[in-house]
C-alpha cells in the first residue's frame, strides 16, 4: 500500500540534503527500496508554513517527490471517530496529527514519524519510527 511521511520526516530529509549528509532518512529509505511514500494534504500545508518553503517554488520542490493524498468525506468522518476516542480517554493529540492519522487509517497506510508517542495513541494505526 505505502507509507505516509509525517512532516518531521520531510523536514529531516531536507536538512540532511542541505548538509549533504547521509543520515537516518537515507538509511530508512535505503532499507525500503520497494516502498511507496506519500504525504497528506495536511503535511503539504505544514510544509508551506516552514522556512524551507518561503516561496511556492521551494514548497513545490519539497512536496514533489511524494504523491499528496487529498481530503475526503471519509477522512473527515475518521477524524471525528479518532477525535472522540482520544478526547474521551484524555489522550488527545495535535489537530494536524489527527488529520494525518485519519488519512492513514482510511487508506490503510502506516505513518513514518519520530513522534511515535502521539501517533501511537491512535487505535489501529501503524506507526513506523525512523
Which residues lie closer than 8 Å to 119 by C-beta, 6 or more apart? 6, 93, 97, 100, 101, 111, 113, 125, 127
Distance CA 77, CA 67 (A): 22
Q: Where are the domains of the chain?
A: 3-129
Lay out the sheet containing 37-40: strands in order across. Answer: 67-69, 37-40, 3-5, 110-113, 127-129
Question: Each residue of 10-25: pLDDT tens digit?
Answer: 999 988 988 888 899 9
Grid coordinates of 64: 514533489
Distance CA 55, CA 119 (A): 30
Grid coordinates of 130: 525512523
At 115, the pLDDT band (50, 70, 90 cuts) reads very high
Whole-model pTM over 0.95:
no
Residue 52 has pLDDT above 80, yes or no: no
Question: Each residue of 58-83: pLDDT tens digit?
Answer: 889 889 999 999 999 999 999 999 99
Domain 3-129 matching CATH 3.40.50.1010: the answer reads: yes
Amino acid at each position: 500500500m505505502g507509507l505516509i511521511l509525517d512532516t518531521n520526516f520531510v523536514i529531516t530529509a531536507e536538512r540532511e540534503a542541505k548538509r549533504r549528509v547521509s543520515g537516518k532518512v537515507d538509511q530508512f529509505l535505503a532499507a525500503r527500496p520497494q516502498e511507496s511514500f506519500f504525504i497528506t494534504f495536511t503535511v503539504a500545508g505544514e510544509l508551506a508554513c516552514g522556512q524551507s518553503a518561503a516561496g511556492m517554488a521551494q514548497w513545490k520542490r519539497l512536496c514533489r517527490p511524494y504523491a499528496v493524498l487529498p481530503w475526503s468525506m471519509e477522512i473527515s468522518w475518521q477524524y471525528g471517530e479518532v477525535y472522540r476516542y482520544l478526547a474521551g480517554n484524555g489522550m488527545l493529540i495535535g489537530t494536524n496529527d489527527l488529520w494525518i492519522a485519519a488519512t492513514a487509517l482510511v487508506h490503510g497506510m502506516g505513518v513514518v514519524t519520530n513522534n511515535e508517542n502521539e501517533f501511537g495513541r491512535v487505535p489501529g494505526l501503524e506507526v513506523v519510527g525512523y
